[in-house]
Structure 1
Amino acid sequence: MVAEPASLPATSPHDTRSAVLFGGVYGSVLACAMVAALTQYGHASRASRRYDALWLLVTALASALAHGYAHIIAERGPHRGWAALRSVLRTLLDEWPLVTAVLPTVVILAGAGWGWWPPNGVEYPAFVLNITLLFTLGLVTARWAGRGWGSALLIGVADAMLGLVVVVANAVIK
């Protein structure tokens, strides 16, 4: 007797917690890498910081769209008509954490462009913010997984350092 294939769940296989964590990590690394690349090859004027903020936001939106599109292709179901359109829109909207994760860095860059603080050296607070976010996400997920505080702190530090390595590698490559 042949077993029936398992049916797919009616809802998206990506729960909110996973989407927020994925988007938070992806967005933080993306923001750091973009700031590193834009700072290395750009200028530190107010106008360039506004441009950098816009580029970061456009890049985050494009990355979210590309990631959502990949999910649509990989998880294409039997839906047709309006159900298919709703499924596509929901999949694309599920990428909001990635865009949200870059918004603090967009504000830092735009704020420098609007004269809220000096535009020169603004990349350092952006790096600190995003590396801190990676540390926090590592710490929180380790605690959710039942790890003790000591272990969770080490995991948070390791995640922050891994993020730093990825950012440096991206900056060097670009």
Structure 2
Amino acid sequence: MPDRANHVRPESVAPGRITRHRPPEHSLFSGIYGLVLASALVAALDATGEKADPGQDALWVLLTALASSAAHGYAHVIARRASGDGAATTSRVRLVLAEWPLVAAVLPTVAILLAAVAGWWAEATAVDVALLFNTVALFGWGAAAARNAGYGWLSSCRAGGMDMLIGLMIIIANSLIK
């Protein structure tokens, strides 16, 4: 049995069902990048021996994601300019704004930290929850990307597991450093 599903259909054959929305490759890239960034930041900002300030940590995670998003989008603009592409200014702005999935991916981490500000849990617990959430989300994004590429469930779960390893490495590094 082939591991990769055959999604190619002759033009004369109508689809049997409505196709689901498939996020473009760039959105998947930015989302996964945002999750890894959020995990690394929340682990680094949770310093042992410092007074806990989850509100400030949430702000740093959000501002760093916005700065990373803008820098990544602007790098695309510079690359286009260097290649001699005479794209209009609006398309350059769209390149920067297309990095929104990176910022969206850090919002759960920001919300988890803000829950610590509200007193729902301690900052250390919020960090643990954010790291666990992001690791599970990495599995989900990786598996979804593989499924969207046409891979079967087993291969998709393996791909998600490989993405999940990034989150697990951050969790392990966080525990070893502290």
Q: What TM-score do the two structures reach when normalised by structure 1? A: 0.78
The answer for the alignment partner of 2:113 in structure 1 is 109
The answer for the alignment partner of 1:30 in structure 2 is 37
AA aligned opposite 1:61: L
Shift of 1:74: 0.6
C-alpha distance 125-170 of structure 1, shift in aligned 2 (>3 A): closer
The answer for the alignment partner of 2:101 in structure 1 is 97
Shift of 1:36: 0.7
Task: Decide whether the 8 Å contact of 2:65 with 2:102 is kept in 1.
Answer: yes
* Aligned mates of 1:118, 1:170 — CA distance in 2: 17
* Aligned mates of 2:174, 2:71 — CA distance in 1: 19
Task: Decide whether the 8 Å contact of 2:43 with 2:170 is kept in 1.
Answer: no
The answer for the alignment partner of 2:148 in structure 1 is 144
1:78 to 80, 86, 89: 86
* Aligned mates of 2:101, 2:49 — CA distance in 1: 27
The answer for the alignment partner of 1:50 in structure 2 is 55
Shift of 1:168: 5.5
RMSD over aligned CA atoms reads: 2.4
Q: What TM-score do the two structures reach when normalised by structure 2? A: 0.77
* Aligned mates of 2:150, 2:58 — CA distance in 1: 38
SS of the residue corresponding to residue 51 of structure 1 reads helix
User: What is the identity percentage for the equivalent residue pairs of Structure 1 and Structure 2?
Assistant: 48
- Runs (4 or more) in structure 1 with deviation over 4 Å come to 166-173
C-alpha distance 160-37 of structure 1, shift in aligned 2 (>3 A): same
Task: Decide whether the 8 Å contact of 2:135 with 2:167 is kept in 1.
Answer: yes
Hey, which of these two has a bigger chunk of helix by percent?
Answer: 1
Pairs aligned (count): 153
AA aligned opposite 1:62: A
Structure 1, gaps ≥5 residues long: 1-14
* Aligned mates of 1:20, 1:171 — CA distance in 2: 30
Task: Decide whether the 8 Å contact of 1:32 with 1:126 is kept in 2.
Answer: yes
Task: Decide whether the 8 Å contact of 1:69 with 1:92 is kept in 2.
Answer: yes
Shift of 1:121: 1.9
Task: Decide whether the 8 Å contact of 1:33 with 1:171 is kept in 2.
Answer: no
Structure 2, gaps ≥5 residues long: 1-21
The answer for the alignment partner of 1:5 in structure 2 is none
C-alpha distance 163-136 of structure 1, shift in aligned 2 (>3 A): same
Shift of 1:149: 1.2
